[in-house]
A and B are shown apart, each in its own frame.
Chain A
Amino acid sequence: MKHPLSEPGRILAGLDGAAAPMSRRAFLKVQLSAAVATTIGFSGLWIPGKKAYAGVPDVAVAVGDIAPAVRKAVDMLGGMGSFVRPGQKVVIKPNMSFAFKPGTATNTSPLVVRELVALCKEAGAGRVRVLDHPLRREELCIEGVKKACDVFNEDIVYGVTRDRLFKPTPIPGGKAMRETDVMREVLEADVLIAAPVAKAHGATGVSLSMKGMMGLIWDRGIMHWRYDLATSIVDLASLVKPHLVVVDAIEALTTNGPSGPGKVVRYDTIIASRDMVAADAQAVATVQWYGAAMKARQVEHIRLAHERGLGRMDVENLVVRQERV
């Protein structure tokens, strides 16, 4: 039997609900494990808590140099092998919307992306693509990441700016936005990895993994003029769900985001999670925004996503493990 985590990475959450017929054996297995879990849970044999928990944390925080921190954070979640099976198609979505230098923290650090690509390759990934829908001339925006990924000697990094490379897709869980055009590459990928940089955002408080999904669709303008921005970000998050989120908080843009120039603060931190809401919430808590500590619930789209059950923003109730490298 396949490892449960390898369940063919369907990115379209709305579509994988279409209940595949379950074998009797699998059904019994689920029933049994649920029963066991319930028993253990209620009997008090297993108490949720950071100390006692020895397995995979909900949120992994690694502090240190860029590449080792990325590796550590992913390892804490069980390693890239638990996300990427050999031969699978992977799309990595960093933020490379801006044509500014790395020190401005407007784009994801190219080294973060390179390490993620390397991890995917080590896990035996088939095709790895690093994609974004940039705001400026694509070659200027993707320049840094593309250069960093030169070591792999293949075409990996693309700024996708043509409508034909996007495909109309319904959003079954959408409250406001019920359809959008999603990058074909993303629709066809087995695994999606979000790799946002931690930065402030004048309209949405912060721009992290959920906000970053706007870089995978064609018409973002409509989220500004037709829909409520926070609501439609959550709508989009209900459709395009990364399997792994790796937030680059090595350097965070803490003021005047998303484009800066603003105050860039060094946190030397990488935050990783399977849960995009939790990853974003943890990043909100890690960084001082405009010099103030903010709560995840103060970011409207994070709160709405939590309320809709897309993930959990109450990181205080989750297992957050931090390690230094």
Chain B
Amino acid sequence: MNRFQRIVQSATLMVFLLLLVCAGFPLPGYLPLDGFLRMDPLAGAAASLSARHLIVAFWPALLVVVFTVVLGRFFCGYLCPMGTTIDLVESAGARRGRPLNAPDTWRRWRPVKFHALAFLLGTAALGVSFVFLASPLALITRFYGNLVMPVVAAAADGLLGLAADWPEPLRVDGLAMLQVPVHRFAHQWFLVVFFVAVFAASRLAPRFWCRYLCPAGAVLALCSHRPMVRRRVSDACVDCGQCQRQCPMGAIDDNDPRQTAHGACITCQQCVAVCPVTAVGFAPGGRGPVVIDGVWADRRRLLGTGIAGAATALVSLSGLHHLHGREGLGRILPPELIRPPGSLPEDAFLASCLRCGECLSACPTNTLQPLGTAIGITGLFSPVLTPRRGPCEPGCNVCGWVCPTGAIRSLPLREKTWAKVGTAHILRHKCLAWEFDRRCLVCDEVCPYDAVELTSVAGIAVGVPVVHENRCAGCGLCEHHCPVKAQAAIVVEPMGELRLAGGSYEEKARSLGLSLVLAKNRTAAGDSGERSVSVPHADYPAAPGETAAPDAGDRLPPGFTR
């Protein structure tokens, strides 16, 4: 590993992490927050295939491919945060005491990445996206955004908590008041297992993931069989085999160090650095000898894997919980399937969602969580709202803006307030007011759309909440704040959600008779006509004793007693 590579890799990882940290609320819209994800050629190809249209947001991936044709797999060697992370783990000890390149006993695994690619393209051909199981950029984004950052934040918050208990003279004023937002996520197990496996595999061979498994690497390998600029060895070579032993990708032939599998080479130039006679260089043109990974010899098998992928897609499509066909009878819609505001219609959404977790880590209230198997394996780890954890903040639209594929549309704030994600329903048998005659109005109090109203009902001494469905956007502030334990007494379910592939949510919502105007705007815009600006101030308000309380027969204002 040479110095230049180290510097570029560190800088790139820094930028990657910085963008990930910046992807939050309020959103610095001028930054290319999803830039790295959009450089993943596998994600671009598979998502475009399964979504049935070219996702133009992936133009950086195309650029990477073009540059790969010229320069080889420089992306893997220099830019990929996954590769850099694996290098980091290896140098931090995962390969301590092991040669940089042991004899490649795993040689037979080399085609696996091509098979993984064939499999994913096979599923994508049937409109099902499993790319989230293998796209390195999506996985590494989730790893940092949904696992590492929450752990770091929790640790930092814990430390700050300790700071509050320091005795007065030692205490740094204001330190204890810092509140690091701590996100919590479901299904951490997947990330833990996956990355422990990836890092552990590095003990078997350096960059095991990149060498044998990564299907994005496979795409780039296909583009770099004969890159324009490539490794060449001059006649000065003394056959010492240093380069072969030091190559992290095992790209140099075991018997003849002049031979290079360019598709495996990540252009790290380690071989250049270690050559005792400076016989190795990277240069354009010429016809050096070329070793191919042997994958084309296996075209029939690859086809078979592709068909296996398609078959897997068919199986998952035929599962009970897959949301097949149109909404209607016999289709099981799980109550927790509340998609982020602006999500494409479900089929298109699942086809294009990478499960990169960018929206999850950007969501300021942590309401976005990865889904389990509620809609079968095809929906695994896709984002859903979890109001009990946090509400969908009406003043925030970051999820759509950080989504690299447009699975969640990037809506302007005004449009977003009209993007109804579901409807709140009151479970009267749990409600403190309806069932227990308690004076509780929390749902009414917190509803930013003024969709919950307290009303009086015969036989119940206190005001009881009702939901005006046409005003409810499903933000879940009510469910989040409901003081009832376990399941809330007011819950948001996906009923009435709006899912538009294009066009205006406001227009659509208005045409359906919805009135999703934020309460604050209702007042300012006079939407409700309630506000008065009268100045009735008398010189001095009448002393309480002199004013008559409303007659006993009159209805009292809510909350007052006789």
Contact = CB atoms under 8 A, between A and B. Distances in A.
A285 B541 contact: yes
B457 interface: no
Interface in A113-132: 127, 129
A315 B173 CA distance: 41
Contacts of A288: 536
B485 A255 contact: no
A324 B454 CA distance: 38
A137 B181 CA distance: 11
Interface in A194-232: 200-206, 220-222, 224-225, 229-230
A99 interface: yes
Contacts of A136: 391, 393, 446, 448, 477
A265 B543 contact: no
Interface stretch (B100-108, B272-280, B490-498, B544-552): B544-552
B542 A316 contact: no
B537 interface: yes
A189 B516 CA distance: 43
B319 to A, nearest CB: 38
A284 B528 CA distance: 25
B52 interface: no
Contact of A135 (B173, B441, B445, B530): B445
Contacts of B485: 225
Interface stretch (B257-265, B369-377, B554-562): B554-562
Nearest to B557: A290
Contact of A164 (B157, B396, B536, B544): B157
Contact of B561 (A61, A155, A269, A299): A299
Interface residues of A, number: 70
A37 interface: no
A110 interface: no
A264 B529 CA distance: 11
B530 A316 contact: no
B229 interface: no
B317 interface: no
A174 interface: no
Nearest to A101: B520
B524 interface: yes
Contact of A225 (B477, B483, B536): B483
A76 interface: no
A148 interface: no
Contacts of B533: 264, 266
Given A155-B174, A205-B559, A261-B450, A222 B483 contact: yes
B532 A264 contact: yes
Contacts, number: 195
Contacts of B160: 164
Interface string B169-190: 0000110110100000000000
A295 interface: yes
A137 B25 contact: yes
A45 B524 CA distance: 56
B115 interface: no
Contacts of B444: 202, 259
Contacts of A161: 179
B540 interface: yes
A169 interface: no
B31 interface: no
Interface stretch (B207-215, B291-299, B432-440, B501-509): B432-440
Given A155-B174, A263-B531, A293-B549, A103 B541 contact: no
B535 interface: yes
Contacts of B450: 259-261
Contacts of A260: 450, 519, 523
A189 B561 CA distance: 35
A160 to B, nearest CB: 7
Contacts of B230: none
B91 interface: no
A63 interface: yes
Contacts of A99: 395, 448, 520
Interface string B105-147: 0000000000000000000000000000000000000000000
A262 interface: yes
B22 interface: no
Which of the four size classes fits the interface of chain B? 35 or more
Given A137-B393, A200-B557, A224 B522 contact: no
B447 interface: yes
Contacts of B559: 200-206, 299
A141 B559 CA distance: 25
Contact of A315 (B439, B445, B544): B544
A291 B94 CA distance: 74
A289 B522 CA distance: 21
Nearest to A158: B177
Nearest to B528: A261
A294 B438 CA distance: 23
A205 B436 CA distance: 19
Contacts of B436: 225
B174 to A, nearest CB: 6
Given A164-B161, A259-B519, A298-B562, A202 B544 contact: no
A59 B512 CA distance: 53
Contact of B522 (A201, A261, A303): A261
Nearest to A227: B438
A258 interface: yes
A316 B540 CA distance: 13
B560 A229 contact: no
B442 interface: yes
A61 B559 CA distance: 25
B438 A259 contact: no
Interface string A153-165: 0010010111011
B364 interface: yes
B392 to A, nearest CB: 11
B544 A224 contact: no
B164 A137 contact: no
B484 A255 contact: no
B547 A221 contact: no
A165 B157 CA distance: 11
Contact of A289 (B174, B441, B477, B560): B560
B81 interface: no
Nearest to B558: A202
B429 to A, nearest CB: 14
Taking each of B161, B440, B534, which has the highest tally of chain A beta carbons within 10 Å of its own beta carbon? B440
Nearest to A222: B483
24 contacts: A100-B519, A101-B523, A101-B524, A104-B523, A136-B446, A165-B164, A201-B559, A202-B441, A203-B439, A203-B441, A220-B483, A221-B482, A255-B557, A259-B444, A260-B519, A261-B531, A268-B537, A286-B541, A290-B557, A292-B549, A292-B554, A292-B557, A298-B562, A316-B544
Interface of A: 61, 63, 99-101, 103-104, 127, 129, 135-138, 140, 155, 158, 160-162, 164-165, 184-185, 200-206, 220-222, 224-225, 229-230, 255-256, 258-269, 281, 284-286, 288-290, 292-296, 298-300, 303, 315-316, 322
List 9 tightest A-B contacts by C-beta distance, closest first. A221-B483, A293-B547, A205-B559, A290-B557, A164-B161, A203-B439, A261-B523, A100-B520, A285-B544
